[in-house]
Chains A and B, each alone.
Chain A
Amino acid sequence: MEAAPRKIIHIDMDAFYAAVEQRDHPEYRYKPIIVGGKPDSRGVVATCSYEARQFGVHSAMPSAHAYRLCPQAIFVKPRFDVYREASETIRSIFARYCERFEPLSLDEAYLDVSDSELYQGSATLLAKHIKQEIRRQTQLVASAGISYNKFLAKIASDLGKPDGLYLITPEQGPAFVENLAIGKFHGIGRATEQKMYDLGIVTGKDLKQLPLAELQRHFGKAGQHYYNIARGIDPRQVNANRARKSVGIETTFDHDIADQTTILRYLQDLLEKALVRLAEKQMTAYTLTVKIKYQNFVQITRGRTLAEPISDSPTTRLLLTDLLKNTGIGTTKVRLLGVTLSGLENGDSRLRQYRQMDLFDLG
């Protein structure tokens, strides 16, 4: 017997950061609000209100460009503490109605409500109720997509926006995907989209014509996924306690910097912050990666895995210097620096089983 279809809800907050700002500043309401970098800076748009979107502004666009499109927009500096607080409230709402939910970011989550008996098992009514609860507790608007897997639930939440409640049933699924433009598929980015166009794939229907072997030949590992989603199939589970794989922090400078000592100081600063975040999560890391974006937007990363946990020690500082060797640092100006800690392990490093003695530490 075939298993009953799952019931997945995708909740996506509408223009989250901008909506929080409009909530807290009544004078911003009904106006184009852009949360992110200032127009005279080199920052980008993090989120913008629907009023700003009408001018063609969208997230990840350079703020300077957004300003040209919509000079009357109000530019607001992000207040992540406030957003995080709202996000926590929203997550506590999810937790009340469902055991298995997977936050993707501050403003987005998947909920697996297959086993829920609330509203006689109607996921749509449950989603509607969750939306109402979010609005009641945070005065913020969410869109919900309901379907039988993650892929379609996410597409559904997108289609209803803003304030959406959109259902794609198992009967509708395959036909729905067939009519979808390839650019609307989540997980198909601009590069893949272009590659698909080159292959003559414009809609889900076109994608479905291609045999698995050919998709794998063109897209490698992702081929299987594309084959599946073209048929409305997505076996990915909602992962309630998705293990954190890395902790990263980066910063874009107001002015490009060239001085090696300054760069090193910034990196140490970022590393310290990343280590604090890691400690808050009671984890240790063994891999340190440095990300550098040059003035010309060329981006490189340099990483190293150590036998000992990464800590704020002289050794780690030496490692940073070492990682900057054979980069353009010192000759090319830098616009962005980042530090990522990965190779994570639970628990404090002091609780580890064994510690390797070092010959040159002999007293």
Chain B
Amino acid sequence: MKFIISRDQILPPLQQIVSVIEKRQTMPILSNVLLQASDEQLVMTGTDTEIQIVAKLNIESISHSGEITVPARKFLDICRLLPNGAEIHFELQDDKVKVVSGRSRFSLSTLPAEHYPEFNESDFEHGFLLNAGKFKKALDKTVFCMANQDVRYYLNGLLLNVSNSKLKLVASDGHRLSIYEDDIGQATGYESRIIMPRKAVQELSRLLDDADAELNIQFSSNNIRIFYKDVVFSSKLIDAKFPDFSKVFNQSFMSPLLIQKQVLRDALTRVAILSNEKYKGVTFDISGDLLKLSTHNPEHDEAEEELIIDYQGEPLSISFNSQYMLDAVSNLDSEMAVLTIAGNASSCFIEEPEQPLFKFIVMPMRM
């Protein structure tokens, strides 16, 4: 196995692959990247057994085809630290890989390619096409609400719901929820709900750096596979049903409250300084055209801010985790924020004023 490749061509896909590989491995070969060279094509594969990234690179200078695995992080660091534009000569000699560039020479240990684990995928029943930029935005507006290591394991991921030409993404840790809905411009003719695990969602979001690219998304009830430029991203799915969240929509609501997003954000950041470190509670006292934010902590420090709002409803008082509120407000792209509180003060919707594609829901804290 022998080929020459430029540093700048191999580096981006190698970084994407290493990002998926877990630092602490149970099987040594999982720390390695699989390299397969043949017919003017180099295929690189990395996996943590839950997620797999396969990158295909077209190179002309393959003098001997073959396949081998090398320690991924070390190989990446070598490529990364070589100068821009460097030419990398890669050659398998016995059980060592020689990496040579200019006057730099490296000899890497290897493990045979035939020991590299197979990533099993079932047949893909469904699929649709989507612009990468659009999907990336949908991910960015939802991922921050995913649970992390929650025992309700189905919350440690993202719900992807295709209903004919509608795509809906939902994430929730129970304390807050984010929902993104858009048209995918094609009648798929099916209704399907799958849950992508947290790490896969984060890796995918990192991968989609070209907003103009097209995605081909295929999935079954066990697997998802996404074709993005020269990369194939695969992940296993969480085998569970996402809990029913429709109740939160089916309730009566107070009048909406309108406020300058940046003003609310700045005030929240300031009052949060003196909130309880653990619960981060901030109380919203709403009356007429005034919103009063207040916090206090066990050390008896107190903070208060008064903000001008546009509100026609009854006076009310409600408390939230300030960080959850900040995350939601910060993720709005509009100048104004609309806050709508449910009739019995059981939840708060945060959204943009005009034709929003996404909504955030933050659950209150009770005294």
Contact among B245, B279, B319 for A360, CB-based, below 8 A: B245
A358 within 8 A of B: yes
Alpha-carbon distance A319/B153, docked complex (angstroms)? 10
B346 within 8 A of A: yes
B363 within 8 A of A: yes
Contact among B245, B279, B364 for A353, CB-based, below 8 A: B279
Chain B residues lying within 8 Å of A352, measured Cβ to Cβ, are 279
Contact among B151, B177, B245, B365 for A355, CB-based, below 8 A: B365
Contact among B149, B247, B281, B367 for A362, CB-based, below 8 A: B247
Q: Knowing A355-B365, A357-B346, say if A315 contacts B151 (CB, 8 Å).
A: yes
Asked if A358 and B151 sit within 8 Å, CB to CB, the answer is no
Chain A residues lying within 8 Å of B366, measured Cβ to Cβ, are 354-355, 357
Asked if A322 and B248 sit within 8 Å, CB to CB, the answer is no
B80 within 8 A of A: no
B234 within 8 A of A: no
Chain B residues lying within 8 Å of A361, measured Cβ to Cβ, are 174
Q: Knowing A353-B276, A354-B365, A355-B366, say if A360 contacts B281 (CB, 8 Å).
A: no
Asked if A359 and B248 sit within 8 Å, CB to CB, the answer is yes
Quote the shortest CB–CB distance from A74 to chain B (angstroms). Answer: 47
B238 within 8 A of A: no
Hey, what's the 0/1 contact readout for A25-42 against B, CB within 8 Å counting as 1? Answer: 000000000000000000
B223 within 8 A of A: no
Quote the shortest CB–CB distance from B213 to chain A (angstroms). Answer: 34
Alpha-carbon distance A356/B365, docked complex (angstroms)? 4
Quote the shortest CB–CB distance from B164 to chain A (angstroms). Answer: 27
B45 within 8 A of A: no
Contact among A307, A315, A322, A354 for B319, CB-based, below 8 A: A354
B229 within 8 A of A: no
A84 within 8 A of B: no
Q: Which of A318, A322, A360: most chain B Cβ within 10 A?
A: A360
B101 within 8 A of A: no
Asked if B279 and A359 sit within 8 Å, CB to CB, the answer is no
A23 within 8 A of B: no
Chain B residues lying within 8 Å of A322, measured Cβ to Cβ, are 149, 151, 153
Alpha-carbon distance A307/B174, docked complex (angstroms)? 11
Chain A residues lying within 8 Å of B248, measured Cβ to Cβ, are 359, 362
Q: Knowing A318-B151, A353-B279, say if A360 contacts B174 (CB, 8 Å).
A: yes
Q: Knowing A353-B276, A354-B276, A354-B281, say if A359 contacts B361 (CB, 8 Å).
A: yes
A304 within 8 A of B: yes
Quote the shortest CB–CB distance from A254 to chain B (angstroms). Answer: 31
Asked if A319 and B151 sit within 8 Å, CB to CB, the answer is yes
Chain A residues lying within 8 Å of B96, measured Cβ to Cβ, are none
Contact residues of A between 304 and 324, Cβ < 8 Å to B = 304, 307, 315, 318-319, 322
Asked if A354 and B152 sit within 8 Å, CB to CB, the answer is no
Contact among B177, B276, B364 for A357, CB-based, below 8 A: B364
Contact residues of B between 326 and 367, Cβ < 8 Å to A = 346-347, 361, 363-367
Hey, what's the 0/1 contact readout for B253-290 against A, CB within 8 Å counting as 1? Answer: 00000000000000000000000100101000000000
B175 within 8 A of A: yes
Contact residues of A between 41 and 90, Cβ < 8 Å to B = none
Chain A residues lying within 8 Å of B321, measured Cβ to Cβ, are 356
B172 within 8 A of A: yes
Asked if B151 and A359 sit within 8 Å, CB to CB, the answer is no
Contact among A304, A315, A356, A362 for B279, CB-based, below 8 A: A356
Quote the shortest CB–CB distance from B148 to chain A (angstroms). Answer: 10
Alpha-carbon distance A354/B346, docked complex (angstroms)? 14
Asked if B281 and A359 sit within 8 Å, CB to CB, the answer is no
B243 within 8 A of A: yes
Contact among B153, B363, B365, B367 for A359, CB-based, below 8 A: B363
A362 nearest CB neighbor, chain B only: B247
Asked if B276 and A359 sit within 8 Å, CB to CB, the answer is no
Alpha-carbon distance A304/B248, docked complex (angstroms)? 29
Asked if A358 and B367 sit within 8 Å, CB to CB, the answer is no
Quote the shortest CB–CB distance from B363 to chain A (angstroms). Answer: 4
Alpha-carbon distance A307/B245, docked complex (angstroms)? 21
Quote the shortest CB–CB distance from A306 to chain B (angstroms). Answer: 9
B244 nearest CB neighbor, chain A only: A360
Asked if A356 and B149 sit within 8 Å, CB to CB, the answer is no
Asked if B175 and A356 sit within 8 Å, CB to CB, the answer is yes
Chain A residues lying within 8 Å of B152, measured Cβ to Cβ, are 318, 360
Asked if A360 and B149 sit within 8 Å, CB to CB, the answer is no
Alpha-carbon distance A360/B154, docked complex (angstroms)? 12
Q: Which of A318, A354, A360: most chain B Cβ within 10 A?
A: A354
Asked if A357 and B363 sit within 8 Å, CB to CB, the answer is yes
A319 nearest CB neighbor, chain B only: B151
Contact residues of A between 233 and 274, Cβ < 8 Å to B = none
Chain A residues lying within 8 Å of B367, measured Cβ to Cβ, are 353-355
Quote the shortest CB–CB distance from B149 to chain A (angstroms). Answer: 6
Alpha-carbon distance A359/B174, docked complex (angstroms)? 5
A325 nearest CB neighbor, chain B only: B153
A307 nearest CB neighbor, chain B only: B175
Alpha-carbon distance A362/B174, docked complex (angstroms)? 10
Alpha-carbon distance A352/B365, docked complex (angstroms)? 11
Asked if B279 and A354 sit within 8 Å, CB to CB, the answer is yes
19 further A-B pairs in the complex, CB-CB below 8 A; given A318-B152, A319-B151? A304-B149, A322-B149, A322-B151, A353-B279, A353-B281, A354-B319, A354-B365, A355-B365, A355-B366, A356-B365, A357-B347, A357-B364, A359-B176, A359-B177, A359-B347, A360-B152, A360-B243, A361-B174, A362-B248
29 A–B contacts, CB within 8 A, in A order: A315-B151, A318-B151, A353-B276, A353-B281, A354-B281, A354-B367, A355-B365, A355-B366, A355-B367, A356-B321, A356-B363, A356-B365, A357-B175, A357-B347, A357-B363, A357-B364, A358-B174, A358-B175, A358-B363, A359-B175, A359-B245, A359-B248, A359-B361, A360-B152, A360-B172, A360-B243, A360-B245, A361-B174, A362-B247
Q: Could you list which residues of chain B lie within 8 angstroms of chain A, going by C-beta atoms?
A: 149, 151-153, 172, 174-177, 243, 245, 247-248, 276, 279, 281, 319, 321, 346-347, 361, 363-367
Q: Could you list which residues of chain A lie within 8 angstroms of chain B, going by C-beta atoms?
A: 304, 307, 315, 318-319, 322, 352-362
Please give me the 7 A-B residue pairs with the lowest Cβ-Cβ distance, nearest first.
Answer: A354-B365, A318-B151, A357-B363, A358-B174, A354-B281, A354-B279, A319-B151
